[in-house]
Amino acid sequence: MRVMRFVLVALGSEGDIRPFIALAMELEGAGHEVSIATFSYYFEMIQNHQIDCVQIGNFSTLSRRHFINIRFLRTIKSTLVNCPGFLEELWRVCQHAEVIIYNVVTFPCFYIAEKLKKPCFAVFMQPHHPTRAFPDPSVTEGRSMGGVFNLLEYYLFDLAHWLYIRKAINHWRRHTLQLPPIPAHETVVKQIEKRKLRVLCAYSPLITPKPKEWRTEGIEVTGYWFLDGQKKYDVPSDISDFLLSGEPPVFISAMWNIDLFTREALFQIQEALGRKLIVQDLRSEMRGMTSTPQILYIVGSVSHQWLFKRISIAVHHGGLGICMNCIRAGAPMIMLPSDMSGNDHRFWAHQVAEAGAGFRCYYNKHKFVETIIRAIKKGLRNPDMKRNATELSKKIGAENGLRNATQFILKELKLSPIQPGIKS
């Protein structure tokens, strides 16, 4: 059986990279060679899972100053496509690939696959194909505007995005790839559909089912891709000691909401609840924070898979990664999408709320502490939300999105897992 060389090209936040590490491990487990091409500051995390790395030069998004303050236009402006050297970097890292797998940030890889005549797969962490069933995550506050308007949102964003990047893409196609230019009316999603490109949606159909408008072949809503740690988690002593007494604590992720969860705000929240807090500061952004007997302050990563089974409720920004970890653990959620966070956070907050496993908290910054205290108390008193989260946890546990994704890829490539000791 033939060994294939996969190059996974993924850029974004840590939450975008972790599912790619999980997929790389699955593909290696099936007997294939895999590299992840990404920014160098993710190398340690990737290499800790014994996956090969290829560096992509670091790029910053173009300045957003003096740009119309409309959410979907800000999203379009944040693309890396127009950054000098970005497309050439994608071309470089894909040269030795036999199969290219890319995410939404690195979507121009499908033009490289076209040039090299190699198979490719898109991995989307949120929906991008038009549907009446739910809104475009890049456009709205996450709530449906009704079938017709939902459709229009997808078409509007796709067209505006393509017009913004088309010049750079066509210049690169002509001068680097020696491929013909693409006309203005053929937007990115239209190109994906015209070419019948294969798409993996790395989220759960239990939360966001595949819409009937999408083609039946070649688009797969796989289920979540969990990157599990060690079989036995080595629990830090400060966490285990903190959990020894009292009711299960409230977990708060300060990520994207550092300005809201100040030291003073956390003390007020803890005192009003009369319950312990575990506060995670992933990027070490909080100032003047130290642990107390009632508030455990954690800097950096912690095993959500282990911890979320031991909390009462989770308060966070609504990103896909933390949502899916809460769902798997059966932990109900209160979601606080930030103006600084990704548009998809609002979308996932609404999808989770629709599934009954949590709710989105709307707040005025000047009355944030009072609002979040009421929201947490409401969540703690809601047995239906806990019951829904527990039921979803059982279903998600049986889903195995990574296996579904790997089987889809190998089936499309007409490959079978490599038997141990067999190489070609």
Whole-number pLDDT of residue 71 = 63
The two tokens of residue 163 are 């017009």
Q: Which long-range contacts (CB under 8 A, 24 or more apart) does 288-293 make?
A: 288/263, 289/263, 291/238
Whole-number pLDDT of residue 287 = 85
The two counts, helices (H) then strands (E), for the chain are 15, 13
Whole-number pLDDT of residue 77 = 79
Backbone angles phi, psi at 279, to 5 degrees: -115, 120
Domains of the chain are 5-224+399-412 (3.40.50.2000), 237-397 (3.40.50.2000)
The two tokens of residue 247 are 């009711």
The two tokens of residue 194 are 């015209």
Helix (H, G, I), strand (E, B) or coil at 14: helix
Whole-number pLDDT of residue 72 = 66
Residue 185 CA: distances (Å) to CA of 111, 209, 281, 326, 419: 17, 29, 45, 41, 47
Q: Sheet harboring 99-103: ordered strands across?
A: 52-55, 33-38, 5-9, 99-103, 120-124, 198-201, 219-221
The two tokens of residue 169 are 């893409």
CB 11 within 8 A of CB 40: no
Report the C-alpha gap between 303 and 315 in whole angstroms. Answer: 16
Whole-number pLDDT of residue 138 = 87
> What pTM does this model have?
0.92
Q: Which residue has the tokens 């160098």?
A: 40
108 closest CA partner among 201, 176, 21: 176
Whole-number pLDDT of residue 421 = 40
Residues contacting 102, CB < 8 A, separation 6+? 8, 9, 10, 109, 110, 120, 121, 122, 123
Whole-number pLDDT of residue 229 = 63
Whole-number pLDDT of residue 338 = 85
Whole-number pLDDT of residue 63 = 43
DSSP class of residue 11 equals: -
Whole-number pLDDT of residue 233 = 80
Amino acid at 20: F
State the sign of the Cα–Cα–Cα–Cα dihedral 64, 67, 69, 70: negative
Whole-number pLDDT of residue 230 = 55
Q: Which residue has the tokens 């932990």?
A: 331
Segments in the chain below pLDDT 70: 1, 60-72, 229-231, 340-342, 416-424
Amino acid at 284: S
Helix (H, G, I), strand (E, B) or coil at 282: coil
Report the C-alpha gap between 177 and 191 in whole angstroms. Answer: 17
Within 10 A of 205 (CB to CB), how many other CB atoms are there?
15
Amino acid at 420: P
Any bridge partners for residue 315, and if so which? 252, 334
Report the C-alpha gap between 102 and 122 in whole angstroms. Answer: 5
Helix ranges restricted to H, 222-317? 237-242, 263-273, 304-307
Backbone angles phi, psi at 99, to 5 degrees: -135, 135
